[in-house]
Amino acid sequence: MARLVLYHAAPSRSSIVHWMLEEVGEPYDLHLLSLQAGENRAPPYLAVNPMGKVQALRHGDVVITEAAAICAYLADAFPRAKLSIPIGDPRRGIYLKWLFFGPSCLEPAIQDRAFPRREQAPRAAMGYGEYDTVMDVLGQAVAAGPYLMGEQFTAADVVIGSGLRWGMAFKLLPQRPEFVAYTGRLAERPALQRAQAKDQELAAA
Ligand SMILES: N[C@@H](CCC(=O)N[C@@H](CS)C(=O)NCC(=O)O)C(=O)O
């Protein structure tokens, strides 16, 4: 079986895939990079991810980048973990919607809140529309629970859940009761707890 290697820096966005790998439950290695020392911009890592960003996942001969793509890949590659909605199941469309909603709507909305534009961009020109709509849509999506796809926890929860956790921690998202309840349920997952504990250890080292 080809080995899984996560190019990782703690704390950073690569904690998203770190959590996902814990959910998958297959053995993996961490290849640590120091962002402070600029290792992510040095030629050896640029050969892995020319974007110079963590994260990247190596699986045998294949390298995958972009958190949501990696989570989708892992969910499909290891179906035993039941983190994907399989091809042929009509609910897969909804699952894919949430996987893509993370990087195309939630993250840009958070980033624009963190780094406001000098001029308000026209709603029609913004892929995510506007911040409040993104919050309302997500609030509704996580209200019923326990997870985005109902009873089944999936890779989409890792992507959206990570965005909500991060945004709330940095006070860039409102403490809506639905968000608090949903991220509270996620925080109870042993896989997330393991990844977090390891990341805290790495950050302190
Ligand atoms: N779209 C990328 C975003 C990755 C990203 O922005 N990573 C940050 C860490 S949170 C990074 O590598 N920053 C270092 C830099 O750009 O120099 C993904 O989903 O993996």
Residue 147: burial class (beta carbons within 10 Å; 0-12, 13-18, 19+): buried
- Say whether pLDDT at 1 is over 80: no
Within 6 A (CB) of ligand 1 lie: 12-13, 35, 40, 52-55, 66-67
Strand partners, 58: 5, 63
What is the reported pLDDT for 76?
98
How many angstroms separate the first and last alpha carbons of the chain? Answer: 31
Enter the pTM of the model: 0.97
Using the atom order of ligand 1, give the atom closest to the CA of residue 12. 10
Nearest-CA residue for atom 1 of ligand 1:
66
Q: What angle do CA 75, 161, 29 make, to 5 degrees?
A: 50
The secondary structure of residue 4, as a DSSP letter, is E
Contact 173, 167 (CB under 8 A): yes
Indicate the top mutation candidate among 45, 48, 53 to test ligand 1's pocket, ranked by most ligand atoms within 8 A of CB.
53
Nearest-CA residue for atom 11 of ligand 1:
53
Indicate the top mutation candidate among 6, 13, 57 to test ligand 1's pocket, ranked by most ligand atoms within 8 A of CB.
13
pLDDT digits (tens, 9 = 90+) for 89-135: 999 999 999 999 999 999 999 999 999 988 888 999 999 999 999 99
Alpha helices in 26-121 (DSSP H): 43-46, 67-77, 92-101, 107-114
The secondary structure of residue 124, as a DSSP letter, is G
pLDDT digits (tens, 9 = 90+) for 195-204: 999 999 999 9
d(CA 103, CA 91): 20
pLDDT digits (tens, 9 = 90+) for 126-159: 999 999 999 999 999 999 999 999 999 999 999 9
